[in-house]
Structures are given as C-alpha cells and as structure tokens.
Amino acid sequence: MPVGRWASVHHPEIAEVELDDVLRALADPTRRTIVRMLLADGDRACGTFGLPVAASTLSHHFRALRRAGILRQYDDGRQRMNTLRLDELDTRFPGLVSTVLATPG
C-alpha cells in the first residue's frame, strides 16, 4: 500500500463536513467536471484531467474538493490519485451529490 506524501494530506471526517462546504465546492464548473469524470471513469491521477487551467489552479480545486469531503487522495509513486467518497457523502447528505451531478450544467 502506498505511503509517502499521503501523511501530509488531511481528509476530514464525513461527520464534520458542512453543507456549505459541499455546495460551495460544487458551485464551480471546473470542480463539477472533475467530479463527473471521476464518477464516469473511476480513480484518476491529478494530471490526467486535461482541463484548461494551470497545474497550481488544479491543485487548488482538489484541495477544495478534499476539504468538502467529496474526494480522497492517495499517492502512488509520483502521481496523486483521486477517488470519490460517494458512499460517505450519501450517508451524510442523502441524494445531494448525485442530484447535483445529474442536473445538466
């Protein structure tokens, strides 16, 4: 199992995630695209999304999604992988994330 930078990344308990954090995180088109790609294709490294923003900006978005409890990150070699916390989110905010992702836009 991969270690390394993993220790430095903080993942909040799903119980301490606020609704405001989730709504604010999803109120951004770039971040919704990230989440939709993860939902469609499964885990992905940060650099494989092909989005038209700088790497530092992408890092900022991943931190927002991480702090909102929407995804979890773990290191694998020199890449940082992303995985959705869908089950936990659906326990904390039933139907919320799937409803947002299902709506066009």
Partner DNA sequence: TACGATCTTCGTTGAAGGTCGAAGAGTCGT
Partner DNA sequence: ACGACTCTTCGACCTTCAACGAAGATCGTA
- Which residues sit at the interface with a copy of itself, rule CB under 8 A? 18-20, 23-24, 26-29, 93-96, 99-100, 102-105
Under the binding rule (CB under 7 A), the answer on residue 105 touching DNA is no
Are the C-beta atoms of 36 and 30 separated by less than 8 Å? no
Q: Which does 47 bind (CB under 5 to 8 A by kind): a copy of itself, DNA, none?
A: DNA
Give min distance, CB of 68 to DNA, in A: 10
Chain Cα centroid distance, residue 10: 13
Q: Which amino acid is located at 83 in the chain?
A: T
How many whole angstroms separate alpha carbon 20 and alpha carbon 30? 18
Give min distance, CB of 42 to DNA, in A: 15
Give all strands of the β-sheet with 79-84 in edge-to-edge order: 44-45, 79-84, 71-76
Residues lying near DNA in the complex (CB under 7 A) are found at: 3-5, 8, 24, 27-28, 30, 45-48, 52-64, 73, 75, 77-80
